[in-house]
């Protein structure tokens, strides 16, 4: 692709789990990538293999603060995603979501760029509607320990739609459900990385609560495909759109699957359930199927295989 037609794409949180996969994919497709990160949960190792590509540029920056760049598209992913990380400094988490959205929307407005927000199934909170559809407004505690993330992401969605209505900005909002795969931080604290590492090390598998709560797990490559389809969709399609794999598992089922696949001798141990931990979560993806022709096909066993292989290097 020549320089004139090459798109310059900004990925905030580009050194994180999802951001590093998105950077790699968009770079392969012939784009110029500006990867912006403050390295709170992201790592240089995640993007080390991209550094020699002259179409890849790394910017250390915190999205809480404005930045001036020339870009055609923005994927706004910057925000810690695992509960232990986003609860570590809740005020910063909220500022990252809200001020980060304001700064990136301002940047998009100046550039007349299209912008996608990495929103989350957490906007549904502990849902009373199951599976969750995009028209459900959610059941979110505004003052709990998860609120810095949930309410920050909800406010970011509000800002996206206000910029769209007030300034005609081209926006896309993806509500991402639990996603897993290589490049997850080993100390991330999320369930898939925790269980795999515990199983590989022969340590007890820590089930919070009785393990009957459910989640639906999407393999990273398929989620990234959803992002790209969403960004490429017509300007009149803003979302919000659920992106996730609708096949639901209990946390106990996940633990048993990981033990089986790693041939581990680990035992299950029960720990207290964290406050406001959602009891069930499953995306209704009718809208993504219709508007983006997107539907995940990779089964949990298949995705876990490559994820387990990735975590073996941390032993």
Indicate the residue among 178 and 194 with the shorter CB distance to ligand NAD.
178
Do the Cβ atoms of 281 and 121 come closer than 8 Å?
Answer: yes
Give me the long-range contacts of 47-54 (CB less than 8 A, separation at least 24): 47/14, 47/15, 47/20, 47/23, 49/24, 50/20, 50/23, 50/24, 53/27
Quick check: is 149 catalytic?
yes
C-alpha to C-alpha distances, 44 to 40, 55, 87, 114, 184, nearest whole angstrom: 11, 17, 23, 27, 13
Q: Choose, from 75, 86, 124, 149, the residue flagged as catalytic.
A: 149
CA-to-CA distance for 192 and 208, rounded, in angstroms? 13
Q: Minimum distance from CB of 117 to ligand NAD (Å)?
A: 8
Name which position in 7, 25, 58, 64 contacts ligand NAD (CB under 6 A).
Answer: 64
**Which one, 213 or 262, has the nearer CB to ligand UDP?**
213
**Could you tell which of ligand UDP, ligand NAD, none binds residue 13, using a CB distance below 5 to 8 A set by kind?**
ligand NAD
78 contacts 13 by C-beta, under 8 angstroms? yes
| Least distance (Å) between residue 202 CB and ligand NAD | 26
- Quick one: which segment of 8-16, 89-97, 208-216, 293-301 binds ligand UDP (CB under 6 A)? 208-216
Does the protein bind ligand UDP through residue 266 (CB under 6 A)? no
Q: CB of residue 34 vs ligand NAD: minimum separation in angstroms?
A: 12
The residue range among 53-61, 103-111, 161-169, 203-211 that interacts with ligand UDP, by the rule CB under 6 A, is 203-211
Considering only residues 255-294, where is the footprint of ligand NAD by CB under 6 A?
Answer: none
DSSP per residue, 159-170:
HHHHHHHHH---
């Amino acid at each position: 692709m020549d320089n004139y037609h090459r798109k310059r794409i900004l990925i905030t949180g580009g050194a994180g789990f999802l951001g590093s996969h998105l950077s790699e994919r968009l770079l392969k497709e012939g784009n110029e990538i500006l990867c912006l990160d403050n390295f709170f949960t992201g790592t240089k190792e995640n993007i080390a293999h991209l550094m020699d590509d002259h179409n890849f540029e790394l910017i250390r920056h915190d999205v809480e603060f404005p930045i001036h760049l020339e870009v055609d598209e923005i994927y706004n992913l910057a925000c810690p995603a695992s509960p232990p990380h986003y609860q570590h400094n809740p005020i910063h988490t909220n500022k990252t979501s809200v001020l980060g959205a304001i700064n990136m929307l301002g940047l998009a407005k100046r550039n007349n760029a299209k912008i996608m927000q990495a929103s989350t199934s957490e906007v549904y909170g502990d849902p009373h509607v199951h599976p969750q559809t995009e028209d459900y407004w959610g059941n979110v505690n505004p003052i709990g320990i998860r609120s810095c993330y949930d309410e920050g992401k909800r406010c970011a969605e509000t800002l996206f739609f206000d910029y769209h209505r007030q300034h005609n900005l081209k926006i896309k909002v993806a509500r991402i459900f639990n996603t897993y795969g290589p490049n997850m931080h080993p100390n991330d604290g999320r369930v898939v990385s925790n269980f795999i590492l515990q199983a590989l090390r022969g340590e007890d598998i820590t089930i919070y609560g009785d393990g009957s709560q459910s989640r639906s797990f999407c393999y990273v490559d398929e989620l990234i495909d959803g992002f790209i389809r969403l960004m490429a969709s017509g300007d009149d399609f803003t979302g919000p759109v659920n992106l996730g794999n609708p096949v639901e598992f209990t946390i106990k089922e996940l633990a048993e699957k990981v033990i089986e696949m790693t041939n581990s001798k680990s035992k299950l141990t029960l720990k207290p359930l964290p406050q406001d931990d959602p009891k069930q979560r499953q995306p209704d993806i009718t809208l993504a199927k219709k508007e983006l022709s997107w539907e995940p096909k990779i089964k949990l066993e298949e995705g876990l295989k490559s994820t387990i292989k990735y975590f073996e290097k941390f032993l």
